Structure 1
Amino acid sequence: MVQVNVVDIGGSGVSKPTSKPNISFYVYILSFAAVIGGFLFGYDTGIVSSAMLYVPDNSGMRPMNNMWQELIVSMTPGCAAIGSLISGPGSDWIGRRYVILSASAIFTVGAGICAGSINKPMLLVGRVFLGIAIGLASMIVPVYVGESSPSHIRGRLITLFQLMITLGLVIANIVGGAFSYINPDQVGWRLMFGFAAVPAIIQFVCFIFLPESPRWLYEHDRIQESKEVLTKIYSGDSEWIDYELGEIDFTCKQQKEAKAQQSGFVLLRILQTPHVRKALLIGSLLQTFQQLSGINTVMYYTGNIIRSAGVKNKHTTIWISAGVYHTQMAVKPMIPLRIIPALDNVVEESFKILYEWEDVYCHTRYTVLPIIIMVIYLLCFSAGYAPLPWVMNAEFYPLWARSTCVGIATACNWIFNLIISLTFLSLSQAATKYGTFFIYAGCTVVALVFIYFCVPETKGYSIDEVEQLFMTKEKREEMRRKEERAQKARRDSRREAERKERAPTYPDTFDMRF
């Protein structure tokens, strides 16, 4: 990644504290409640793979051809793109917290509609609701966590979002496997969809009591509330609270100056501001390349890939899927790497115990190779490409453009998700299955070159300093000189105030009596 020297521009004149901040458990409560949205994202993305093994056999859904199956699967990413675009201006207007509450409510409604579906159109409507909710959550959760987190743990906390997506995928397969034994064609698939309402309700209840992002509060002139939230996050550490307030204040003042010079819609201001435009381009390409790696062809068609290896039993297919995602989750930073061999052994033993082969497949020593390669592919993806586009997009943009830019970048993710999922089967027929993945591999090589030469390293910078990484050297130097003048003016003002305090005072009138 590109290394850039950033100018220290403490907006309040308060230098960055040298001691580590006194972080309270409160910030972890905020983050864990928010990333439940990531769990719902993963669960509702993953559960469709298990449910669609049984939905076509339901009496109310027959006949269900391939077009209907593709429509039900792809409707969610399509609507997620719409949800992510709505989320940007919506969060600027009503706040990050209320968008998360809205997403939780829509998740609950969507899960209920899917679980109670009596025909194909009703199931499609439920998937539309879930898609909009996923779009809202995928955009707003990283923004909320990023704006509420101290800089030295911000990356870890935003990475929790991707960890919870993976956990949602794992739980989706486990829940799918469990409910596949309860009259799956009539009842089981309904329980699979309906289970998503439980975490959605938990998140909704949590955010009734949790606060708004401190940066959003400050930008909307609710300064005292912003300070109260920061006080809870930093356990009353006044040095860090003052520093954070100063950084936010300086950022807000810069934004007001920029807005005065560039009036108009936020999107127009983004396009007129070179460093923000550059950040948006890089952030959008990161999200686009993530999907061009072909990851969601594996996510949506896990069951098909496993069955193409020759696995006959549907229950076995779901349980092997769970093992695959469990292994993927093991490479997350919070889980020790030494348990990966143990998980691999579990998957291997599950093959020995559960495998029941389709008669139409020729069972050879290479039959399980597609599944092994899929596990390696998911392990490599989850180690970096899974979380980093979300983490970096939550950091890249100034406060005034953050929600809009993250919304646009997230929409790019979902649009290419939709394109990949809709074209995979056709592309597999035109270019063969292995040819299709060679195309995805070529896109990933291009992404590697792009990331190495164009994406800056954000480690160690506050969320308000990251903006400078996209500025030209001349612009950063101009900011440095401007801040030096501002600090000199503040010092002169303080000295003048101190001089007046030390000067002797005399009464306005004199007592002339002797």
Structure 2
Amino acid sequence: MTDTAAEPLIHDHDHRSDYAESNSDVDVDESTLVRPGVFIWVLTFCAGVSGLLFGYDTGVISSTLVSIGTDLSARPLSTLDKSLITSSTSLFALIASPLTGVLADHWGRKRVILLADVLFVVGALWQALASTVWGMIFGRSIVGLAVGSASFVVPLYISELSPSPFRGRLVTVASLFITGGQVVAYITGWLFSTHAHGWRWMVGLGALPATIQFLILEFMPETPRWLVKANHKDRAKNVLLRVYGGDEEIKNMVNAVLRRIENEILEEEEAAGGRTNSEVPKHGFGGRLAKVNDGLVQLIAVGGNRRALIIACMLQGFQQLCGFNSLMYFSATIFSLVGFRSPTLTSLSIAITNFAFTLIAFHSIDRIGRRRTLLYSIPIMVIGLALCSVAFNFVNIPSHEAATNNPVIKAAGRTGSMIWPMVILVAMIVYVAGYAIGMGNVPWQQSELFPLSVRSIGSGIATATNWGSNFLIGITFLPMMEGLTSVGTFALYTAICIVCWITVWRIYPETCGLSLEEVSKLLKDGWGVQESVRRAEERKRAAS
């Protein structure tokens, strides 16, 4: 095989024939890889620090809300205050996701991670120094911009660097960091909950990991797929050689991967109507706007891209609408209302369960597959939520406003039997276990659904769907607990999970073991569910 570093980015039809001959070889070669190399593990862990920040900032608010007291605006927090403080992060993450999707194509994935680090530091320090409710909301909003950027770009970064046999597992590392960050947040909240103004330390400590990642970012490369698209093929080849290794067989594999990427770019340009680089302005605002518009047109007009967007948005939306982050944001509030004497410490069991079962997902996602993981785990979520709904019917919960403003009422809720509160805790743990195995991880594999030309903007829009749904959950949970009651709220989440399972069964194909370019072809003429399941069974039989 010739060295592709000397070849032009766009091949003619003869080169496409060469690619077709080598493409089957690279599939076989990649499937023979035994384990990820040291370099890709280092990159994954460095990028995963953003996931740690993501998890910490979404988890720490639970302990913060029950620890602030009258420190903000010299009064207790109302239901509206808590809802706004919590949901402002989601709202601004929603705003940031599609915008940074555009920036990731223009600047590169690495620079967007750097931008997120700066926002994490500013947001954490602003919260720690806040003296009013609106000051706290502003700090949480800055953190939201950081979380929205990191939550989309880190899985994209890891996905574009990873060899296909390990892609699911390596992207799941980002989820491990998220859940690990939530555990750290709950432990930090528990340690500082008894200290005067300890909540300021809880939120302020989020600046430390961001500063560390900012310093190590200089040693992280850009992704090879973005480098090829930006006409830096020599640099892309060097990154791939370090990711895959350096012997002669690996060099041939790297050359084939580069050629496959180039061929995808060529096919995408032809699918977009034969558009060439000369037809799009290259510089200035007009050029950037034209590229964004061209990407949106391709995302909607091309059938395969549109189906990828529907699947990615469906998964991200259901991930939040099933109510999981209501536990992350308000678990301490819930456990306080049902009678637990140490609600922050009780909430830690939720975070630990989430982390532990994400480890199971890490081990199984590339073995069982994305589709089957969801079809097996969502019923566990349904059982947990349904049991929660039933158990809440036997617990006398005071209204949030009454419990907040009248300690006697709050203490009265602790004098009854703890049997049903314990059932609620167990049911939530069951629900979180099912969530962590499937819905907590699989939606973040979204980058693999999109072809390179729309991967960044498509992932950004899907992530915006996640944060839009997250915002809806954050702003409505406490009012729903009072209006629909806790029984009705968790019954609604149960129904949403059932709808999610049906949708996954109908339209989500199995992408495990496929290269990024192969996934794009799978969705070209339909949802590809039956074809993907058949191919997954063939790969399973071949491996056994």
Residue in structure 2 matching 1:311, options 320, 332, 340: 340
- Give 1:65's aligned residue: 78
Residue in structure 2 matching 1:169, options 182, 185, 188: 182
| Residues 1:129 and 2:142 aligned together | yes
- Give 1:279's aligned residue: 308
Give me the whole-angstrom Cα distance separating, in 2, the residues matched to 1:261 and 1:428. 54
Give me the whole-angstrom Cα distance separating, in 1, the residues matched to 2:174 and 2:476. 28
Give me the whole-angstrom Cα distance separating, in 2, the residues matched to 1:365 and 1:182. 31
- Give 1:376's aligned residue: 430
Following superposition, the deviation at residue 130 of structure 1 comes to 0.2
**1:148–1:214 Cα contact (<8 Å) kept:** yes
**1:38–1:138 Cα contact (<8 Å) kept:** yes
The size of the alignment, in residue pairs, is 442
- Give 1:327's aligned residue: 353
Residue in structure 2 matching 1:417, options 436, 445, 470: 470
Give me the whole-angstrom Cα distance separating, in 1, the residues matched to 2:119 and 2:459. 21
Equivalence map 1:52-201=2 (5 Å): 52-58=65-71, 61-62=74-75, 64-183=77-196, 186=197, 188-201=198-211
Change (3 A) 1:474 1:158: closer
Q: Which amino acid aligns with 2:318?
A: F
**1:173–1:322 Cα contact (<8 Å) kept:** yes
- Give 1:225's aligned residue: 235
Give me the whole-angstrom Cα distance separating, in 1, the residues matched to 2:296 and 2:362. 43
**1:310–1:363 Cα contact (<8 Å) kept:** no
| Residues 1:205 and 2:215 aligned together | yes
Following superposition, the deviation at residue 320 of structure 1 comes to 1.4
- Give 2:295's aligned residue: 266
- Give 2:323's aligned residue: 294
Following superposition, the deviation at residue 9 of structure 1 comes to 9.1
Q: Which amino acid aligns with 1:408?
A: I
Give me the whole-angstrom Cα distance separating, in 1, the residues matched to 2:114 and 2:171. 19
Q: Which amino acid aligns with 1:324?
A: I
Give me the whole-angstrom Cα distance separating, in 2, the residues matched to 1:254 and 1:335. 34
In terms of mean alpha carbon deviation, does 48-57 or 98-107 score higher?
48-57
| Residues 1:469 and 2:529 aligned together | no
Following superposition, the deviation at residue 291 of structure 1 comes to 1.4
In terms of mean alpha carbon deviation, does 274-283 or 11-20 score higher?
11-20
**2:179–2:355 Cα contact (<8 Å) kept:** yes
Following superposition, the deviation at residue 181 of structure 1 comes to 3.3
Give me the whole-angstrom Cα distance separating, in 1, the residues matched to 2:302 and 2:142. 35
Q: Which amino acid aligns with 1:190?
A: R
Following superposition, the deviation at residue 122 of structure 1 comes to 2.1
Percent of residue pairs bearing the same amino acid type? 33
TM-score of the superposition, structure 1-length normalised? 0.82
Equivalence map 1:378-397=2 (5 Å): 378-391=432-445, 393-397=446-450
Q: Deviations over 1:56-103 (max 9, x none)?
A: 321654354332221111100011101111111010000000000100
Q: Which amino acid aligns with 2:344?
A: I
The answer to which structure has the higher helix fraction is 2
- Give 1:489's aligned residue: none
Following superposition, the deviation at residue 335 of structure 1 comes to 8.7
Give me the whole-angstrom Cα distance separating, in 1, the residues matched to 2:89 and 2:241. 39
Residue in structure 2 matching 1:435, options 479, 488, 512: 488
Q: Which amino acid aligns with 2:294?
A: F
- Give 1:354's aligned residue: none
Q: Deviations over 1:431-451 (max 9, x none)?
A: 221112111111111111111
What SS does the aligned partner of 2:506 have? helix
TM-score of the superposition, structure 2-length normalised? 0.77
In terms of mean alpha carbon deviation, does 15-24 or 302-311 score higher?
15-24
- Give 2:55's aligned residue: 42
- Give 1:13's aligned residue: 21
**1:50–1:173 Cα contact (<8 Å) kept:** yes
Give me the whole-angstrom Cα distance separating, in 2, the residues matched to 1:249 and 1:326. 43
Give me the whole-angstrom Cα distance separating, in 1, the residues matched to 2:438 and 2:362. 16
- Which structure 1 residue ranges, 5 or more long, are not aligned? 1-7, 338-356, 476-514
Following superposition, the deviation at residue 426 of structure 1 comes to 2.5
Q: Which amino acid aligns with 1:373?
A: A
Following superposition, the deviation at residue 16 of structure 1 comes to 2.3
Following superposition, the deviation at residue 473 of structure 1 comes to 7.2
**1:309–1:368 Cα contact (<8 Å) kept:** no
Give me the whole-angstrom Cα distance separating, in 1, the residues matched to 2:43 and 2:177. 14
In terms of mean alpha carbon deviation, does 87-96 or 464-473 score higher?
464-473
What SS does the aligned partner of 2:21 have? coil
Give me the whole-angstrom Cα distance separating, in 1, the residues matched to 2:37 and 2:497. 40
**2:109–2:223 Cα contact (<8 Å) kept:** yes
**1:56–1:63 Cα contact (<8 Å) kept:** yes
Give me the whole-angstrom Cα distance separating, in 2, the residues matched to 1:60 and 1:389. 39
Give me the whole-angstrom Cα distance separating, in 2, the residues matched to 1:29 and 1:71. 38
Following superposition, the deviation at residue 180 of structure 1 comes to 2.0
In terms of mean alpha carbon deviation, does 59-68 or 411-420 score higher?
59-68
Q: Deviations over 1:137-182 (max 9, x none)?
A: 1111111100000000000000111111111111100011112233
Q: Which amino acid aligns with 2:354?
A: Q
- Which structure 2 residue ranges, 5 or more long, are not aligned? 1-15, 280-292, 364-409, 529-544
Q: Deviations over 1:235-277 (max 9, x none)?
A: 1221221121111111122223234436852111211101101
Following superposition, the deviation at residue 52 of structure 1 comes to 1.3
Change (3 A) 1:271 1:83: same
What SS does the aligned partner of 1:56 have? coil
